């Protein structure tokens, strides 16, 4: 049986029955490895390394000494925490489970956008502070019949599109891997609202920079639930200060947790939530069920001698988020 190891935590961290389910198709062990040395000492013979949360131990210096490793799985969406270049160079598969959080993140992106358009946080604060009842300020947006731009067109972005479809919006998407993709500069120039759903890669780091922010409509709203470094934060703060765009609503930042004096954290034209888009009361069930299923697919491909034909993770493409 394929040797599968969880390096993030002991088995007691998993929902009841998860370990038993994995043992139905793999030789499964689990322990928290906090350093590459811990990994080498605990799981030198691993074939599939599974993790979630921060990557503490799956580093090239350890993996170089583990010749049996054939796959790395990170539960969730982003792969930026894994040594993807090392894996590519060594023929090691890199996988994730974007489907496990797609619905929650899409809901959160929609909630951020609608909250900003309707100024929900602002009016809540004003009402509780004794602001003049019925006085209207800052209602500068409307949802229906506007244009929504999606940067990245994977699982989450497609769900956002579906959720927003009831508002009879025109939707544009930019994704190098999707058919009928709109040029990014054109999307930014024509969209009233832009929502970012691409993974963090060398190609997408700083994708939304000062030049591209200047292309957006002066009343446009930018939503980011992907990764903080996809957006140049200083450029975004400058654009908000200068009135080059209307507002921003973000769940991710370059530094997490951010400095309390962060310009975006303190900016009156920016709504911030603390990287919680993936969570809901269904999170644990969906997260681990998808992880077990992905592990089963990987192990079955390896057992059948079809490892070379197993399809790559969607997030290894630009549209993964």
**Order of all β-strands in the sheet with 221-224:** 170-174, 147-151, 193-196, 221-224, 247-250, 270-272
Rounded distance between C-alpha atoms, residue 186 and residue 262, angstroms: 30
Catalytic residue among 267, 275, 296, 317: 275
275 is catalytic: yes
Rounded distance between C-alpha atoms, residue 145 and residue 140, angstroms: 15
Look up tokens 């993709």; give the residue: 181
130 DSSP 8-state letter: T
Q: Token pair for residue 118?
A: 């309707």
Catalytic residue among 212, 227, 244, 314: 227
Please check whether residue 53 is in contact with residue 78, taking contact to mean a CB–CB distance below 8 angstroms. Answer: no
Catalytic residue among 255, 256, 284, 306: 256
**Order of all β-strands in the sheet with 2-6:** 26-30, 2-6, 48-51, 71-74, 93-96
Residues paired with residue 147 on neighbouring β-strands, in sequence order: 170
227 is catalytic: yes
Helix residue ranges per DSSP H, the chain:
18-23, 36-42, 60-63, 84-90, 102-117, 120-128, 155-164, 184-190, 210-215, 233-242, 263-266, 283-303
90 is catalytic: no
Nearest to 3, CA basis, from 58, 45, 51: 45
**Catalytically annotated residues:** 227, 256, 275
């Amino acid at each position: 049986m394929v040797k599968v190891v969880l390096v993030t935590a002991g088995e007691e961290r998993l929902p009841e029955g998860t370990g038993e389910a994995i043992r139905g198709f793999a030789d499964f062990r689990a322990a928290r490895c906090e350093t590459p040395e811990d990994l080498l000492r605990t799981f030198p013979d691993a074939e599939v390394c599974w993790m979630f949360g921060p990557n503490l131990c799956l580093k090239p210096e350890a993996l170089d000494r583990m010749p049996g490793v054939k796959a790395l799985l990170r539960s969730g969406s982003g792969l930026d925490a894994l040594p993807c270049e090392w894996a590519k160079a060594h023929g090691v598969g890199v996988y994730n489970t974007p489907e496990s959080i797609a619905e929650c993140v899409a809901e959160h992106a929609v909630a951020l956008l609608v909250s900003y358009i309707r100024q929900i946080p602002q009016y809540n604060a004003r009402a509780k502070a004794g602001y003049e009842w019925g006085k209207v300020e800052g209602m500068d947006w409307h949802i229906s019949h506007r244009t929504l731009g999606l940067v990245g067109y994977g699982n989450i972005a497609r769900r956002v599109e579906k959720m927003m479809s009831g508002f009879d919006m025109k939707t544009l998407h930019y994704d190098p891997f999707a058919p009928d993709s709109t040029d990014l500069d054109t999307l930014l120039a024509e969209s009233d609202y832009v929502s970012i759903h691409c993974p963090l890669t060398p190609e997408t780091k700083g994708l939304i920079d000062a030049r591209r922010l200047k292309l957006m409509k002066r009343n446009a709203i930018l939503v980011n639930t992907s990764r903080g470094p996809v957006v140049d934060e200083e450029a975004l703060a400058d654009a908000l200060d200068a009135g080059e765009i209307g507002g921003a609503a973000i769940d991710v930042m370059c530094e997490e947790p951010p400095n309390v004096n962060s310009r975006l954290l303190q900016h009156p034209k920016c709504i911030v939530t603390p990287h919680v888009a993936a969570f809901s009361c269904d999170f644990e069930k969906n997260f681990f069920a998808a992880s077990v299923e992905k592990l089963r697919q990987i192990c079955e491909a390896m057992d059948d001698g079809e490892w070379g034909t197993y399809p790559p993770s969607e997030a290894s493409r630009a549209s993964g988020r």
